[in-house]
């Protein structure tokens, strides 16, 4: 069995892009004027009417940023914001699956630059994510092969499976989002993790497994610290 995990609100609390934007603004890498329209896109997503080209449009705002600076902020973001917000149950599950010798990858609409530190943390390679295009050491504001949002993630996973001689029936896919329903529907074992309203309804109707991840590594450390005092 191959285990494929969405990242945002599935492996980590909140979105990797949200964590990154806060870190990038604090570092002076991105100005607020570059992201002022994002709350509107977030609202459309929550209402079940997302722009399918949202990621491609958002990436345009990163044009001109130095690759090295982007990677440095991504590393800092992981240590300061993402690592403390990894769900402990997700970390335990990923570790157990890998110890059994089963393949684990991420499939996310986020950018590979942002999740690469998370890959290294879990010892994972070959995840599917948006790849930023760089020219002369700077971002062009484009993705190499488009985003993995919605049905585009399903298509990317199907290509990956074909390349590795696997079928969708051999996949256990974990996601929180209704935008991943197309992929969940073709997998041998669909798992809804912290599902949003639309996905929760679909999962219950189809009899899909539902998991609730709540505690993060930050909360776990706080509890352990408190019990020691």
Residue 163's pLDDT is 97
> Given pLDDT bands bounded at 50, 70 and 90, which one contains residue 167?
very high
- The C-alpha angle with vertex 173 and arms to 170 and 174, in degrees rounded to 5, equals 155
Determine the angle formed by the axes of helices 67-77 and 16-26, rounding to 10 degrees.
110
Decide if pLDDT at 50 tops 90.
no
* Domain 2-228 CATH (choose: 3.10.20.30, 3.40.50.1000, 3.40.430.10, 1.10.10.60): 3.40.50.1000
Cα 92 to chain centroid distance, Å, stands at 17
Q: What is the mean pLDDT of the chain?
A: 91
Sign of the torsion angle spanned by Cα atoms 136, 138, 139, 145: positive
> Given pLDDT bands bounded at 50, 70 and 90, which one contains residue 185?
very high
- From residue 197, alpha-carbon distances to 5, 31, 178, 179 in Å are 19, 33, 8, 12
Residue 162's pLDDT is 97
Decide if pLDDT at 74 tops 60.
yes
Q: What is the pLDDT of residues 117-156, one digit of tens each?
A: 999 999 999 999 999 999 999 999 999 989 999 999 999 9
Residue 227's pLDDT is 39
Strand ranges across the sheet with 2-5: 128-130, 104-111, 2-5, 171-175, 189-193, 209-211
Q: Are 143 and 102 in contact (CB under 8 A)?
A: no
Lookup result for tokens 């690592």 = 83
Listed by start position, the domains of the chain span 2-228
Q: What is the pTM of this model?
A: 0.91
- Alpha helices for 145-229 (secondary structure H): 151-163, 181-186, 197-206, 217-228
**φ, ψ at 192 (rounded to 5°):** -90, 120
């Amino acid at each position: 069995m191959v285990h494929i995990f969405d990242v945002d609100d599935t492996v980590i609390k909140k979105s990797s892009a949200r964590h990154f934007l806060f870190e990038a603004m604090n570092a002076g890498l991105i100005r607020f004027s570059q992201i002022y329209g994002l709350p509107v896109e977030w609202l459309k997503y929550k209402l079940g009417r997302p722009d399918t080209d949202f990621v491609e449009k958002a990436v345009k705002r990163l044009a001109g940023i130095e690759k090295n600076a982007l990677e440095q902020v991504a590393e800092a973001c992981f240590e300061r914001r993402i690592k403390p917000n990894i769900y402990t149950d997700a970390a335990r599950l990923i570790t157990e699956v890998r110890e059994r010798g089963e393949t684990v990858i991420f499939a996310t609409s986020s950018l590979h630059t942002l999740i690469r530190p998370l890959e290294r943390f879990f010892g994972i390679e070959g995840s599917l994510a948006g790849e930023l295009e760089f020219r002369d050491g700077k971002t062009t504001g484009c993705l190499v092969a488009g985003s993995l949002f919605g049905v585009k993630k399903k298509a990317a996973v199907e290509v990956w499976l074909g390349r590795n001689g696997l079928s969708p029936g051999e996949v256990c896919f974990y996601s929180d989002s209704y935008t991943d329903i197309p992929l969940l529907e073709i997998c041998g074992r669909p798992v809804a993790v912290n599902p949003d309203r639309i996905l929760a309804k679909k999962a219950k109707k189809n009899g899909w497994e539902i998991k609730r991840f709540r505690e993060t590594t930050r909360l776990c450390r706080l509890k352990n610290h408190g019990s020691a005092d």
